[in-house]
Each structure stands twice: as structure tokens, then as C-alpha cells.
Amino acid sequence: MKSLGVGLIGTGYMGKCHALAWNAVKTVFGDVVRPRLVHLAEANVELATTRADGFGFEKATTDWRRLVDDPDVDVVSITTPNQFHAEMAIAALEAGKHVWCEKPMSPEFPDAQRMLKAAEASGRVAIMGYNYIQNPIVRHMKTMIDEGAIGIVNHVRVEMDEDFMADPEAAFFWKSERTEGYGALDDFAVHPLSLLWYLFGHVRSVIADMAKPYADRPLKDGGRRAVENHDGANILMRLDNGISAVLMANRAAWGRKGRIALQIYGSRGSILYDQERMNELEIYQAEGNTTEQGFRRVLAGPAHAPYGQFIPAPGHGLGFNDLKIIECRELIRAIGGEPFSAIDFKEALRIEQTVHAMAQSFDQKAWIDVNEGFRSNAAPPQFRPYVAP
């Protein structure tokens, strides 16, 4: 692969993360082609032009379809609000482009199915932006689990909490709209699900409850608007391998900024991890003298690849954007036909199915089998439309 032309749709928080990754991936790793930042799309001319100049893109447009049709673009980054993912990803794949799309696939499950079908028909690489699985310390955690460092895992608890929806008087914005999905489940809890998939495999069955701490929010121009989805969720789960698990997600948790807390319990020990302290984990091993047993901290360093590509010494710490650079490298490796570690559209659809099963469980107040429909390539279950009570 001599060249790789990049198109970026959307330049908000995640759009800038993608731009940083495309700009840095060759410098950090050296073993991939240097991407050409070709085309950028934004909602208005001024913003598109400003961001193209700041991010380093050659061209700017307000029409994302022009970007998709650009023959100089080989791969498209999609970082727009959730409701636009399906249309953009399918158009890009049908135009012969590779796709790097931020999570989730789509608020509507049939649209997510169409995304996978488009990816399979195109023969192009299509991955989702689940960058937390790229953390070197998380990779090491998987190695320890696979090697039996804590014995046979029998229970996992995962919590994801942030406080960007914690203020009841914060203005209504698009993340509270039903068109953006169920709320905490698909905007949010898909990240813990990606970690569960990476470490243990997919979810087999679920029973879920969801919470709406605030019924409405003020509008900028006056009045109030009803919140259309849920900011909290609690789910009991069984994983495909029989492990019991609990997932709790809350977008209205004061004081929590980027918390994804994993508690992993096995027959001979435990592992604790928190994304707010993303360069370390704690491990307890029930061995040796009982008077000296206790949790010990493992700090990320060059021994945990690919940490050393960024920093030559432990204790300095990687950040969120660095994980995006690692994910970008995995995408380029995939496009080049090399082995890669990322969540493609096929695995991502299974995560989407899990989310929709959770919503159906809340609606029906019952356990739901997530696996139904995947065992024989039959059509997935017809989930009932979700209506926020």
C-alpha cells in the first residue's frame, strides 16, 4: 500500500480525535503508510474551511456525499451524531471506501444490519471506534486472564459513569433525543460491552432496568422539553462462556468523568481496573503466605506493547487520544491485509443486538436471549419498538 487518502465527516470532539490519530500514526509507529488527509466535511462552509486548515486536510466541503465520491479518498472516518452513521457508512462502502465509524453503529437495529451487509458486499474494511480495547494495560489484562493468573473467571462487574448529564438544569441537547438511541445503553454502555467482548466474549442473555433521573430539561429559548431516553441502566448478564456479569451505566453521576470500572473475580484471584486511572491495574493472587497477600498495582510501561512506541519509560502515562492512534494503526494494518485487533462491523452488530435485547428486556420485564438468531445465521429476533416511558 503506497498511499491512503483519508476523508473525515464531522469535526467535533471525536472528529478531532480521528484527525489527531491520522496525523500521528506514522510518526508513532513508523511501520504503516503515512495517510494523506484529503477531504473534510462539516455542516457549514466557515467551519469546514477552518477545521480543514487546522486539521491539515487538503479540501473542505459541506456535502458529505462529495467527500464519499472523491476518488482520492480511500477511507472515511465517520464521527457525526449516531443517527447519521448508517446512511454515511453505507454510502461510503458502496463507493468502495473503507470505513472507520464511531460507536454505536446506529440507533435502529435494522440500519445496523444494513451496515454489516454493505460492508460484507463491498469487501472493504469497516471497523467501529471502540478504542478502550486498545489500551496496553487492557491488553496485558487479557494476557493475564488467558494465562490463568487469577484462575477461572466466574464473575465480572463493570460500571461506566460520567457526569455530563448530571445537572438537572443543563439545557436539552441531542443526546436526550430518541433518534439518538436509548440513552445510556447505546451512547454509553457499548464501551463496557466492547471490553467484555475483548476479554471474555459476547453476552448470552440479559435482564435490564433503565432509569430517567430527570423527566425534562430546559430549552435555550425558554420552556422545557421531555427527556426522550434514559441516562441510567442496570443489567444482569450471562456471557457466552457462562460467566455471570453485571453492567451499570450512568450519564448523570456527579464527580465521575470517564469511569469504566472493571472488577474481575476468578478462582485464584481478582483484577481491578478503572479507566480514570487508565495506566494501571490491580491484581490479587491467592497464593503464598496469607499474611502477605493483597492487591498489588501494575503500572503500564514499555513492557506492555505498544506503550513503548509513545514513551520510553513507565510512569508517564498514555491518554485517550493515544488509544485512538493505536486503533488507527490497527485499521491501516487491516486495510493492508495484515492481522489486526479491532471490532469490525460483524462483531459490532452483536454488540448492537445486545443493546437492543437490553431495551426489549426493560420493556418486557423479562430475561432475553441475545444469541437467538445468530446460531444459524437466521434473522435476528424482531425486537419490539422501544418507547421511553
- Domain positions in the chain are 5-131, 133-313
pLDDT given for residue 332 in this prediction: 98
pLDDT given for residue 373 in this prediction: 42
Which phi and psi (to 5°) does residue 72 adopt? -85, -10
Residue 222: half-sphere exposure toward Cβ, Cα within 13 Å: 0
pLDDT given for residue 377 in this prediction: 42
Burial of 389 (0-12, 13-18, 19+ CB in 10 A): exposed
pLDDT given for residue 187 in this prediction: 86
Q: How far apart are the first and last CA of the chain?
A: 52
pLDDT given for residue 379 in this prediction: 47
Determine which helix (DSSP H) or strand (DSSP E) holds 39, and give its type and residue range.
strand 36-41
Cell numbers 454505536 correspond to: 104
What is the second-level CATH architecture of the domain 133-313? 2-Layer Sandwich (3.30)
Select from 3.40.50.300, 3.40.50.720, 3.40.50.11440, 3.40.50.10300 the CATH code of 5-131: 3.40.50.720
Rg (CA), the chain: 21
The residues of the chain scoring below 70 in pLDDT are 372-389
